[in-house]
Amino acid sequence: MTPPLPRRVLGGALLLIALPLTPVAAAAGALAAACVTSSVPLFAFAGLALAAVVGWLLGRAAFALLGQGWRSAALFAGGLVVTVAVLAAGTVFRPMPGTAASPVPPGVRFWNLSTGSRIAYVHVPAAGTARPTPVIFLHGGPGTPGEGIPAGGRELAADGFDVYSYDQLGAGRSTRLADITGYTVARQVADLDAIRRTLGVDRIIIIGQSWGGSLAAQYLAAHSRQVAKAVFTSPGALWGQEYPGSAAGEPWNRLAPAQQVRLDQLNSAPRILAASLLLDINPGAAHAMVGDREVDQWMHEVALTGKDSTACQGAPPTEAHHNPQGFYSNQLTRKDFEHTPDPRPQLRTAHVPALIMRGECDFIKPAVADEYRQTLPDAELVTVKGAGHAIARGRPDLYTALLRAFVLGKPLPSTAF
């Protein structure tokens, strides 16, 4: 006997509702399980189990209204679960391309620090009689190392300084942590001080670019007696709580339309969306599901997309390098930076000569660099004309001249002002 029309309509509506609700239930079940476990099979199974329950309950109710038995409901629920599993396997659980293992370039060495970090670095020895205070460059990001010695480094070595540049924890060729919650500002500061002790020196000169400037400030606040001089080049926020997220400046507002399309494609990758959700719930689950090689390669593609967007308009394109990015170092260190104590009270008493350089086209707000000048008692701020965020790319000769003059204690070139 055919059920009445209202029952058939309601039964059909329940079946239609089950189609989108079942995958939503699968995602909710997986995320809920990820709160308590980092096992990918376990939270994947939890998602499918909840999808089966939802599919069965809705299917059973729908087919009862349609005058059919539990077998139809079971087949319907089973088909939904299989469909969800196939879709998930082809999207969220399908690995993305990863960074390929490559030989370590000549000149790259490693420190095995007392902190447990294995840190890749390059070194240019001082020419002639070495000065007692080495120069250490700090890259930006977090998690975006350069390749080789930065601009100005070889000239400083020719002036008698031992010059070092290293890949921070979780970036480049340095250690990737099994427990990614270990990517903290305190760990980065501890690594830098361990490097100083490994070099066997009492004091160092630090040169920080972008996030490297933020790190240099954190180190200076904790170890001012160990810093002879500090250079902050296009520095990031002085205090993370004051400028959370991209509040200090947004680098992605200058993309060309084709670049914006590419960035949107990268940001909408299912694996990245899943990793981002899991990072807020359980970082260990995110790392277990999407490994370092995948997300580091994804971050490299993002960097390539926007590599020329932070310069002054009309600047020539920059050459890309292949030193790996560090996604989890970037995400976790940035998050931790927003919860660090205010370093400004310590910095106001740190009588260390400091030079702050800001390119006139820098996407980071002028107020950020100005706060460094106002906070550090012995600081000078220079605005470099014709340069963007990477001053060394926009005005390499002037950048090098400024570095050398400051480090050597000579008057700064007036052409920068």
Nearest-angstrom CA–CA distance, 114 and 43: 36
Which pLDDT score, from 0 to 100, does residue 1 have?
A: 63
Residues 81 and 132 in one domain: no
Residues 35 and 124 placed together within one structural domain of the fold: no
Share of the chain above pLDDT 90, in %: 85
User: Looking at the DSSP assignment, which residues form a beta bridge with residue 166?
Assistant: 121
Residue 95 lies in a domain: no
Peptide bond preceding 270 in cis form (omega within 30 of 0)? no
Question: Could you tell me which residues are beta bridge partners of residue 112?
Answer: 118
The answer on 146 and 17 residing in a single domain is no
Question: Which two structure tokens, joined as six digits, stand for 55?
Answer: 């599919």
Q: Please identify, among 62, 90, 118, the residue that sits at the C-terminal boundary of a domain.
A: 90
CA angle 269, 272, 274 (to 5 degrees): 110
Please say if the pLDDT value at position 8 is more than 90.
no
pLDDT average, residue stretch 68-77: 90
Phi, psi of 241 (to 5 degrees): -70, -25
- Are 84 and 51 in contact by the 8 Å Cβ rule? The answer is yes
CA dist 413 and 405 (Å) reads: 8
Tell me what pLDDT residue 103 has: 87
CA dihedral over 256, 258, 264, 267, signed as positive or negative: negative
Same domain, 118 and 256: yes
In the predicted model, is pLDDT for residue 192 greater than 70?
Answer: yes
CATH number at residue 250: 3.40.50.1820
Residue 30 lies in a domain: yes
- Do the beta carbons of residue 323 and residue 170 sit within 8 Å? no
Contacts of 174 (CB under 8 A, 6+ apart): 117, 118, 119, 120, 166, 167, 168
As a whole number, the mean pLDDT across the chain is 94
Tally the domains of the chain. 2
Q: What is the mean pLDDT of residues 200-209?
A: 98
Gyration radius of the chain's alpha carbons: 27
**How many other β-carbons are positioned within 10 Å of the β-carbon of residue 375?**
20
Would residue 122 count as lying in a domain? yes
- The confidence score (pLDDT) of residue 416 equals 52
Same domain, 24 and 143: no
Apex CA 82: angle with CA 79 and CA 83, to 5°? 85
Last residue of a domain, one of 38, 57, 90: 90
| Residue 253 and residue 280 share a domain | yes
**Cis preceding-peptide flag for 4 (omega within 30 of 0):** no
In this structure, the answer to whether residues 366 and 316 fall within a common structural domain is: yes
Count of alpha carbons within 13 angstroms of residue 284, beta-carbon side:
11
Full residue range of the structural domain in which residue 283 is found: 109-416
Burial of 394 (0-12, 13-18, 19+ CB in 10 A): buried
**Is 249 within the bounds of a domain?**
yes
d(CA 402, CA 388): 16
Residues 86 and 174 in one domain: no
Q: For residue 185, which of 317, 329, 72 has the smallest C-alpha distance? A: 329
Confidence of residue 326 (pLDDT cuts 50, 70, 90): very high
Is 104 domain-assigned?
no
* The token pair that represents 337 in the structure block: 């930076």
User: Under a CB-based contact definition with an 8 Å cutoff, are residues 217 and 372 in contact?
Assistant: yes
Residue 294 falls inside a structural domain = yes
- Please report whether residue 52 resides in a domain: yes
Same domain for 212 and 179: yes
pLDDT for 15 beyond 60: yes
Q: Is 405:415 a contact under the CB 8 Å cutoff?
A: no
Quick check: 308 pLDDT over 90?
no
Q: How is residue 253 written in tokens?
A: 């507002």
pLDDT at 70: 86
pTM for this prediction:
0.93
Q: Which pLDDT belongs to residue 314?
A: 83
Q: Please name which of 319, 263, 273 lies closest in space to residue 295, comparing C-alpha atoms.
A: 273
Asked if 99 and 41 count as a contact pair (C-beta separation under 8 A), the reply is no
Q: Please name the residue ranges forming H helices in 204-363.
A: 211-222, 257-267, 270-281, 283-289, 292-306, 327-337, 344-347
pLDDT, residue 290, reads: 97
pLDDT at 417 over 60: no
CB atoms closer than 10 angstroms to residue 415: 12
Q: What residues contact residue 158 under an 8 Å CB cut-off, 6+ apart?
A: 127
Amino acid at 195: I
Please state the rounded mean pLDDT for residues 85-91: 94
Length of the chain: 417
119/77 same-domain check: no
- In this structure, the answer to whether residues 54 and 172 fall within a common structural domain is no
**355: β partners:** 231, 380
Q: In this structure, is residue 412 part of a structural domain?
A: yes
**Are 71 and 203 within one domain?**
no
